[in-house]
Structure 1
């Protein structure tokens, strides 16, 4: 599917004049105030209406809700206050389940590292295109999930994450457990502080994410007990989660998305600035070029520029040995999920032959949670391996099992009993 989409779009680029997205319209809102106003994590800094479209013309379907762009206070990987952006969507449809309207705090998969790829900007465009800088095209990949959840009465707040979308020189703190968890927890807090919504301040909250977004969702579930204890968290959905970043090297080597190695490296450097120079020193000239380019790209261009590349040409030494030494060893270990009992039930959805986040790593995290007394359900998708280096087994199962996942989440908001399967993992 990824190949077909890319070929189609590449053909369109060749036939039609280059598109030029107007990013200047976002600069005022997305430039954080300096210094940040005084406040607490989750406090709103600024808000404005946000146009919601599934595609640029807004004629082919719609979100049944009203969007509000938000900027709120959160806490980065170093424990420092930071401005984070996102989108809150107030449903048009009523919540027909039990209790007050539920809030879903949603983290997306990585749409890229450039600020133009932020989910809150893609809600306005449906498809981002700015072809004057290359194949800078990106879809709001998860809009179908979000539109479906919204239509069923869930209020939704989607975070951009620390460093994404905001107009600064820094890169997103991507796949950092602390930054990602804080941003999602504080998005829920910010949504509950918005005036004029149908949310109950004490109403139920759940976390939702896939791939990197699933890492953020589980991070939030682990951190809620200490960082957001006032939230009434009733569940967490995590699909295709990379629970142990150290195990991703083999799968990403030679992958269509091999260039996301740059995302990981830039995420580490943004989270721990003292490691930026050691990371650059470890890279070959080809690696440095990849590192710099991916910092301003959306996901499709990263895929096209670095598809099926091998990691050995980007690093001066054996990267598999490098991650066993500092600074990589401690940094990667810090991002592993499973060392802290999550708040509320957790539902893992994972393909047995996932080529991005290894199934055995997810199983190990689920078992760790079970050992800590957590309420865990691991649903194993058995879709057979298909074009492994395109990571189809990472992306497609979430859509195949989407209705099952939504049903599990709906049951959590309705207060239904869970059916954990710790004894079968």
Structure 2
């Protein structure tokens, strides 16, 4: 992209590669920079990927930005950056990055130490926004086109809570976020679900960890992560039956993108609408001529700008603006989707809730969430119940406020401790009781 520039490899730390895995290839001796933030050569995929989904491409240890010295090891644990092979929604092989965190705390439950795949919430679309990079770099602040905020990751509290319980964590960066070969396919149902499932496979393939092939697996995600975790639970039976999925926490999932698209327009998180459009065109290039016919110069410039932004940048720059300013006829993105059958068909293909999920799923959503609307997330839970799914639905009843962003993120914080405890109990073998029978009576 135009905002990425070549930088010298001398500016990068030496890469330590796990024995037996592919080293950073010679063609990646230089790395790119996104909005002034260097992207290490580790994130440049090799020309050829392994055949198996979830196969490790490379791995390296790194120091967590938030780490404390312990008696026998660092707290909350030790971290390794990973790259693994997955398959995108078009059936093509794709490299995905992430991080594996080995907890310092012991697992006190029955059986081997379990593994949770953490699917991050919205981080942005620039490669510098990837959670695995932010875990090492922390927060970078800058002003202007050549600097950027790097999201330290509001999911870090959930991650550290899981580690404190002795649960190993692997987080995925998703397709195209971090890796320098393509754009992030934001909220793409299949790409997100595959990235989550293959992260579990990759973690179990890592040498010298305390998890085993018998380790129970759980998924955890909120917002974008809730959608990815929910999609992964649906796709597990067909795509990854070898992943021993026990339980999934799906918080505020964007299950129906038509509803979400209309809701975020004009909100503090308008940038997410731009990332969605960019991601749709990355996944389905045939839609590009149609979309381009509606865009004016301002719209094209905005989508290009957003393609390298993190969530903090986008909130500061585009909060409260509307997608109708992007188009030649003043129509919003939601209006255009409704008017164009091919766009509507693509959006309909992203629906989560049409397939029975594996394992038990806890769906939590704020009843006053009007950014990722509560009604569409609840509809997903109802649809799963009708399909025979094992669903625990948890409405989070917080007072609504004037800010759509706060209505969305309030439940994340209010429910997080309960969600982590619920997932830990499931991984310890304690069953959950579905409330599908009473769901019609709940808000």
Per the normalisation by structure 2, the TM-score is 0.86
State how far apart, in whole Å, the 2-side matches of 1:161 and 1:262 are: 17
Residues 9-408 of structure 1 correspond to what in structure 2 (within 5 A)? 23-24=37-38, 26-36=39-49, 38-54=50-66, 63-131=75-143, 133=145, 136-137=148-149, 138-168=151-181, 170-317=182-329, 318-319=331-332, 320-324=334-338, 325-389=340-404, 391-408=405-422
Measured in 1, the distance between the counterparts of 2:410 and 2:283 equals 30
1-structure distance, mates of 2:36, 2:368: 40
Deviation at 1:406, TM superposition (A): 1.4
Provide, for residues 282-317 of structure 1, a one-character-per-residue CA deviation record: whole Å limited to 9, x for no partner.
212221111110001111111111110022212234
The Cα shift of 1:281 comes to: 2.2
Deviations 1:104-144 (A, max 9, x none): 01110121100011001001012133445366213322111
Q: CA RMSD in A?
A: 1.8
Tell whether the 8 Å contact from 2:219 to 2:229 is kept in structure 1 after alignment: yes
Verify: 1:420 aligned to 2:438, yes or no: no
Give, in whole Å, the separation in 1 of the partners of 2:122 and 2:294: 24
Q: Output one character per residue of 1:365-386: Cα deviation in whole Å (capped at 9) or x when no partner.
A: 1111001111101111110111
Provide Cα deviations, 1:169-226, integer angstroms capped at 9, x if missing partner. x211111111111111000000000000001112100111010111100110000001
Check conservation: 2:287, 2:343, Cα contact below 8 A: no
**8 A Cα contact 1:175 1:212, kept in partner:** yes
2-structure distance, mates of 1:134, 1:303: 17
**Is the Cα–Cα contact under 8 Å of residues 77 and 173 in structure 1 kept in the other structure?**
no
Residue 15 of structure 1 corresponds to: none
Contact kept, 8 Å, 1:113 with 1:295, in 2: the verdict is: yes
Equivalent pairs, count: 398
Contact 1:21 1:129 in 2 (8 A): no
Does the 8 Å contact 1:117/1:128 carry over to 2? no
Deviation track 1:14-40 (CA, whole Å, cap 9, x = no partner) reads xxxxxx99844x43211101132x320
Q: TM-score by structure 1 length?
A: 0.90
